[in-house]
Amino acid sequence: MSNSVAAVSRIAFLASDVLVDSQPAYPATSQFSRHFQSFAETTGRRPLTFEVPVGGDPASTILRNGSTASLVSFTASATSHTAVRLVLQATDLSSLPLVLHIAVTDDLSDVILLRSAVPFFLVSYTAQQAHDNALLASRLARVEKKAVIHVFYEHNDDVSDVTTEGDIWRLLHSEKLAPGASFSPENGTHGHIEQAGVTNGDVHLTNGINGSHSAGGTESPTDSGIPNGVANGFSDIADAPSPVPASLYELYDAALLSTVSCTRRTCRPLSFRGVDNPHTVAFVLGSLPHNLELDGVAFVSISLLTPFEPSKVLHVIPPSTSRVILLEQLRRSNTKWTSLFLDIVNILQERQTSHRILVQNIWFTDTEQINATSLFKLLNATSNLRSASPLQLGNDAPSGPLVPVPHVPKHEVSYTKILSYIFGDHLEISNSPSFVPTQGAIATSPEFALGRVRGQFEQRAQLISSVQALMEVEGISPELHKALGQWLLVKDDRSKSRAVSDQVVTTLKSANLQNAHVNRVLALRAHLPARSRWIIGSDAWSYDLGSSGLHHAIASGLDINILILDSVPYSSRHSADPHRRKQDAGLYAMNHGDVYVASVAVYSSYAHVLQAIMEADRHKGPSVVLAYLPYQSENTPALDVLKETKLAVDSGYWPLYRWDPVKEARGQEPFTLDSDSVKNDLQQFLDRQNHLSQLVRSKPQLATELVSSLGESVKEARRKKAAEAYSDLLVALDAPPLVVLYASDGGTAEKYAKKLMNRAKARGLSASIGTMDSMSIETLANEEYVAFVTSTAGQGEPPQNGRTLFKAFNAAAGRGDRPFLKLRYAVFALGDSHYWPRPEDAHFYNRPGKELDSRLEQLGSERFAPLGLGDDQDADGPETGYKVWEPLIWKALGVDSIQVLEAEPDPITNEHIKVASRYLRGTIAEGLQDTSTGALAPSDTQLTKFHGIYQQDDRDIRDERQAQGAEPAYSFMIRVRMPGGVCTPKQWLQMDRISDEHGNGTFKITTRSTFQFHGVIKRHLKPTIQGINKVLLDTLAACGDVNRNVICSAIPSKSKLHARVYEFSKLVSNHLLPRTTAYHEIWLDNKLVAGEAVKDFEPLYGEFYLPRKFKVAVVVPPTNDVDIFANDLGFIAIVDKNGELIGFNVAVGGGMGVTHGNKKTYPRLADVIGFCTVEQGPLVAEKVMLTQRDFGNRVDRKNARLKYTIDRMGLDVFKAEVESRLGYKLSPARPFTFDRNVDDFGWTIGEDGKHHVTLFIENGRVQDEPGQDFKKGLREIAKIHKGTFRLTANQHLIISDIETDDVPHIKRLLAEYKLDNLNFTGLRLSSSACVAFPTCGLAMAESERYLPILIDKVEKICEEYGLRNDSIVMRMTGCPNGCARPYLAEVAFVGKAPGSYLMLLGGGYYGQRLNKIYRESVSEPEILAILRPMIKRYALERLEGEHFGDFVIRAGYIAPTTEGKNWYDRMGGEGKFREVAAQ
C-alpha cells in the first residue's frame, strides 16, 4: 500500500455496501476511483458505486442510496463546494452509518466547516494513521449508525502494516463493547492508557483550587475577542464543564477499543510529545514536521476533533504551563477566530487557577517553511502579545484560496469562440475562470456572477444619472455637451457606444472641470461602453435549479445571458443515476414568462447557434441558451461529438428550438421548432391528420364509413391470410418449411439467400426469405428449419441489417437462455480471408458467421448442416464454398434426390434496369410522389445517378433509427455538371442559397471541379434541380454510366490558354451529353410530345448506355492539377513556341477504382496513344467512348471500366479500333513535362492583366465554422465580384478575373473572413479527402472528417524535422473506389473498416506513378509510428529536390509500381521494411 489515498480507498471499498465518489473538475479524474477499479479486479467485493460529477450534490446521492445500507463511504478531495453541500444536509446525514473520507493537502479551511455538522470528526496525519482511522471510522459509523468525518492528508509515506480483508470483516461485525471501556496497548487488557506521563482514568488533579472567576483572569488575545481571561490550573474533574454529550465520547472509546484490538496499535485522540514540564503547550491541527522540537514546548496532535472532550484537553496541559497555542493549518476562515480556538479558550476559561495562561492562535500553511528556528522566533516575539487576529507562521499570509484557473475543456471552446466572434471586445463572461485565483472558486457560480452583474448595472445607472446631471451644469463646453448627449442616445448600442465613450472620456479630461459629477463619470468610465454579459455553466446547474443559483438568475429580470452546456452523450443518456433527475431548465425558464430560451447544438447547426445567440443578446431581460456538446473526456474525438449530436438531434432527445416572449406579447407565435427531423415527422403526422379531418368535414358520412368499414377490412384480410396459409400447407405436406434469413451490406449475401430460396421452392419446399433483423427471438423460436446467410462487415462485424438480432442472441446467451430447443439451423458465411492479412487479425475472417453458428448452438438449437464458408479468395469466390454447402441443405431436408429442370431466373443487373428504364425514366416521377417513405425504389436509385443524384442515408444515426423502428434518415446527394469547373458569381450565390434552403447548409467542391450538395430530402429534389437550372447549370450526366463532368486545368496565370482549354472542355462535354428528355420531363416539368408519339433516341449511348462511368480531363503542362493519368480519357495540351494551343496528346485507360481483396481489380495510369488537333478532339473523345461502349465488360461491373477493356484487348488493338472508327491514324505524341499536381495558392496576375487568388478550402467543404466563416465570406465576395470562380480538381477555389480596381475590396473581404490565411504546412496544403461518412453508402471508414485530425498529428512530426513547408501529397478515401485519387498520392490511406486503413506509399509527386500497398491494415497509432522514422530519414537523407514518394522508393521502403497490372507485386514493403504477413 503506497500512500494514504490508496489505504483509505481500500478500507472504504472493503468495508462499505455503498460507495459515493466525488469527481474533480475536468480533465482530472478521481484519485479514489482509480483504486476502486483496481480493487474490483482483485477482490470479490462489488459495492454499489456512484460518481458525483463536479458541481453535483453528494448529499442527495448519499441520502438516496444509504438509507438501507450497513455502511456508506463517501470519498472526495477537499473543496469548498463539497463542504457547503454536505453542511446543508448535515442533519439528515448525521443519523446515517456514513463515513466521509476527505483528502486534504496543505489546507484545512474547507473541511473545518464540517466540524459541527456530524457527531464524530477524525484527523489523520500519516498514511498509517489514515489506514487505522479509516478502520475506526468505519467501525464507529457501522455500529453506532452515526456519521463520521475522516479527514486525512495525502501523504506518500508507506503503510507498514495493512489489515487483512478477513480482519476488517471481523472488526466490522464483532460485538459492541460496553461504553466507557478503555484499553491498555501494553497488555491488551482493560485498564488505563498512559499519555506521556499524564495518567488517564478517574483523574484527581493536584494544585488546583476551586473558586469563582477572578477579575484579572487569563490573558486573552484581545480585550474584545474573549471575555475576561482564564485563571488556569487543575482541579477535580467534577469542576470541569459538561462535556459535548458524554455518550458520544464513550461510543468513540468503545469503537477505539475494538479497532486497537484488531490493529494492535495505539490510536489516541490527543497525542502528547515533548518535555514533561513545558512552559508552552501547542495544540496542533495540521501536518507539522515530525522532528520539530523546542525547549520548554510540548506538542499535542489532535486526532479527534469532535467530540472535543474538555477533560481530555485539560489532562494534557501540565501544571507548569503558562502559555497555550493552537497551531492550525489554514489559509482562511469565515470567522475571526476558529471554533476550535474558541473551544480551547472556553475550556480554559471555566477553570480558575493561581496564575494566568496566555492563549494564542497561530496559522500556518506550507509545512516546508516550518522549522524550530522560525517557530522559536515567533514565540519569543509574541511572548506577551495580545493579537487582534490569528498570528501567521511562515511566509504565506492568510488569504483567499490559492486556486489555479480552472481548466476549460477544449470542446467547450467551440461555444466561447462563437461568443468571442460575435461580440468581440464587447463580450464579458461574468463567471470567467480568470476570476478564480483572485476571488476563489465561487467566482464561477451563477450567484456570484449575478451579484457582479447586478453591481455593474447599479453602477451604470449611477453613471447615467451623473451624465444627465452633468449635462444640466452651466458652463460646460458645447463639445462636452454634444458628446454626453450622443452617448445617452447610443448607450445601449455596443458598437456605437464604445466609440462615443472614448470621445466622452477624452473631452472630460481636457475640460478640466472641478465638478463631482465629472469625477463620478470618470470613476465609472469602465461602464460607458455597452457590453454583452454572459454566464457560462454546465448541466450540473440543472440538477438543482434553486441551490445552483440558476433560478435566481432567471428570476432576476436583469439583462443577462446564460449559456448552459450539456455534455451528456446521447448513447450514455441512460447510464446516469436515475434518482438524480436533471431538471428541464429550458421549460422552467419558458414558464417564467419573460425569459428568452433557445436550445442549440453547434455540431448540428452552426447557423442556428449564431441566430439564437444574437437573439438572446438582443432580448432585454434574462436569456437562457441550452447548448449541446456531448463528450466523455477531453480526448473524445470531434467526430464522436458530431455523431452523438446528430443522434440526439435526429431522435428528438435534444430538440433545436427558440422561444421569444417578445413575440408572444405582440400576439405572434413565440415558439419556433428548428429541428428538421422532428419538424418533418411532425409535418407528416399533421398532414395525415389534416387530410382525414378535411375528408370528414366535407363528407360527414365518411367518419362513420371509416370506422364501420374497419371490421370488414380486418375480416377480409384474415380470410385472405387463411387462404394463403392453407395453400402453403398443401405445398409443404411432404417437406418441412424453410426460412432463409440473410444479413448483407453489399448485396452478395442477399443474392445467395435468394438463390437458396428459389432453389428450395423449385424442390417443392415452402420457403420464405427476410433479413435477420426482420425476425425476433420469440418469432424465430417457433420456426423449425432456418438457414442463415451472412456476410462480414468491417472488422468482423455483422452487416447492418443483422446487428439487432446478433445483439439479441448475445444478450440471451449472456442470461443463459435456451429458447431454440426445437429450432434446427444452418449457416453460410461470406468473407475474405485476405482482407485482414496479419496473423493477429485472422479471427476477423467470417467472424459473424462463425459466431452465429456457435451462438445458435449455445441457445439450444440443433445444427442440420455444417457451417459453410465462402471465401472471396477462392477461384470462384464465395461460389466455391457455396457449391459444397448447398447440397448438404437438400440432403438434410430430404429433397436432394429431386431433379430441378427449370432454369433459374437471371439476377436483375444494372444492364436490365437501364434497358427497361425508357431512357432513364424508370418510375422516378412516381417515386417522388410517394410520401410514405423518404426513399426511392432500388431500381430508381440506379437511374437517378444518371441525373446527378445519389440516394444516401445518415450513417451516424442509422443504428439508432433502426432501434427505434424508423427507416433510415434518407437524403440525397446532388452533383452539378459544370464543365471546366468555372462558374459566375450569380451561379455561386445560387449554389450557396440552395445549400441553405434544401441541403445541410454546406456544399462540397469535388475532385471533379464541381459542386456537390448533401442532405437534400426527397421532396426538395425537384426544387433543388430547378434552382440549379435557373442559373443555366444542370446535373444531367454528373454521375452514372455516361461521360461525367469534364475537368480542365485552372492555370490562372495563363489566361488565354485557359480560355481555349475551358472552351474545349465544354465542347467535349456537350458533344458526349446524353440526349434523353427524361431529365427535363421529371425535374423541369417538360412533357413528352403527343403522348410519346416522338420517341427518345440516344445516338451515342443507345438504350444500354456505357458499361461503367467514363471520365475526361484536359491538362495544361507543367501543372498536372487534374491528375490526367487517372482519367479514362485525357487531353494533354500542347502549345507552340508562342504559347498558342495547337492540339492535344491523347491518353487513355486511367482509373482509380479497386475492390479490397479482389486482385482482378487495380488502379491504372492512362497510356498516351498519340496526338490530335483541337478540332479533332471531340470526335476522338467520341470514338474512344464508343469503343468502350461496345467492348467493355457488361457482365462484371467490377471489371467494366475502360482500363480493364484496354488490358484485355491490348493497347495496340484498342488504339487500332479507335483509329478505324476515326477513319485516320493519330499523329505521334508530342513531348511534354509535368512538375507537380498541387495548386499554386495565393495571388497571381494573368496575361491579360487581371488578378487571380487561389484559396485553400480544406477537402473542398464550404461551410461556416467558429472563427472560419468561409461560406459567408465567399457569399459576400460573390455579391461584389465581377469575374468568375474556378473550382480546382484538388478541391480548392480560385477567385478569378479580378479587375485591378477591385483587388483592395476583395483583399479586405478575404482578410475579414480569414480566407487569405495560407499559414498551413505543405502537407495540409497538399492533402485531399473524399466525403465518406456519414453520407456515402460505400464508405468503410472516415475520410473528410478524419484526415484533418490525422494531419494535425503528422504535421507536428514534419515540423519537428524541419519539413513544415515541404509539400507531401497525402490523400484519404473511405473506400477503395478512389474518389480522391489516393493511388497517385505519395502517402495514401484507403478505408477498410472504422479506424482501419490500407496504407500506400511511393506515388509520383506530379501524378506520373502509382503508389503501392505498404501495409494492409493500419490504425492511427500505427500510422504515426510508421511515419515518424520515415519522415525523419527523409529530412536527413533526401537528395536535392527529391520528393517524398521518390525517397521511399530509393530508401527501400517500397518498390515502384511500373503498371497497373503489377500493382500487387512486391506489396507490403521491401527488405527489412516488409510486412511479414503481406502476400
Catalytic residue among 1044, 1203, 1409, 1412: 1044
1178 and 1114 Cβ atoms separated by less than 8 Å: no
Residue 46 falls in the annotated catalytic set: no
Residue 135 grid coordinates: 478502520
Residue 1379 falls in the annotated catalytic set: yes
C-alpha pair distances (Å), 1054 with each of 1058, 1067, 1140, 1142: 6, 20, 11, 15
Catalytic residue among 10, 1286, 1375, 1412: 1375
DSSP strand pairing (120-124 vs 148-153): parallel
490 and 500 Cβ atoms separated by less than 8 Å: yes
6 and 42 Cβ atoms separated by less than 8 Å: no
Residue 1374 grid coordinates: 473511405
95 and 141 Cβ atoms separated by less than 8 Å: no
Catalytic residue among 452, 1330, 1392, 1415: 1330
Report the alpha-carbon angle 1230-1234-1238, nearest 5: 145
Residue 1316 grid coordinates: 487569405
Q: In what order do the strands lie in the sheet with 72-77?
A: 48-52, 18-22, 72-77, 98-104, 148-153, 120-124, 304-306
619 and 664 Cβ atoms separated by less than 8 Å: no
Continuous segment of H or E residues that includes residue 677: helix 676-698
| 168: amino acid identity, one letter | I
Residue 262 falls in the annotated catalytic set: no
How many Å apart are CA 646 and CA 604, to the nearest integer? 6
Catalytic residue among 312, 646, 658, 975: 975
How many Å apart are CA 1286 and CA 983, to the nearest integer? 7
How many Å apart are CA 1472 and CA 1469, to the nearest integer? 8
Catalytic residue among 146, 1109, 1215, 1261: 1109
Catalytic residue among 146, 1111, 1324, 1409: 1111
How many Å apart are CA 102 and CA 148, to the nearest integer? 11
Catalytic residue among 1379, 1381, 1409, 1415: 1379
The DSSP string of 155-201 is -----S-PPPHHHHHHHHHSPPPPTT----TTTSSSS--EETTEEPS
Residue 1358 falls in the annotated catalytic set: no
Angle between helix axes 1021-1030 and 985-997 (nearest 10 degrees) is 170
1271 Cα distance to chain centroid = 24
- Name the one residue in this structure whose C-alpha cell is 437511374: 943
CA nearest to 617, candidates 759, 704, 493:
493
Residues near 383 by beta carbon (within 8 Å), at least 6 away in sequence: 323, 358
Catalytic residue among 1336, 1345, 1381, 1392: 1336
1164: left (phi over 0), alpha (psi -120 to 50) or beta: beta
3-state helix, strand, coil in the chain (%, to 5): 40, 20, 40
CA nearest to 1287, candidates 1296, 1278, 1275:
1296
Continuous segment of H or E residues that includes residue 326: strand 323-329
520 and 466 Cβ atoms separated by less than 8 Å: yes
Residue 1111 falls in the annotated catalytic set: yes
How many Å apart are CA 64 and CA 60, to the nearest integer? 6
656 and 441 Cβ atoms separated by less than 8 Å: no
The DSSP string of 819-886 is --TT-EEEEEEEE-TTTS-SGGGGGGTTHHHHHHHHHHHHTT-EESS--EEEETTSTTTHHHHHHHHH
How many Å apart are CA 551 and CA 463, to the nearest integer? 29
Backbone angles phi, psi at 1127, to 5 degrees: -105, 155
> Annotated active-site positions, please?
975, 1044, 1109, 1111, 1330, 1336, 1375, 1379
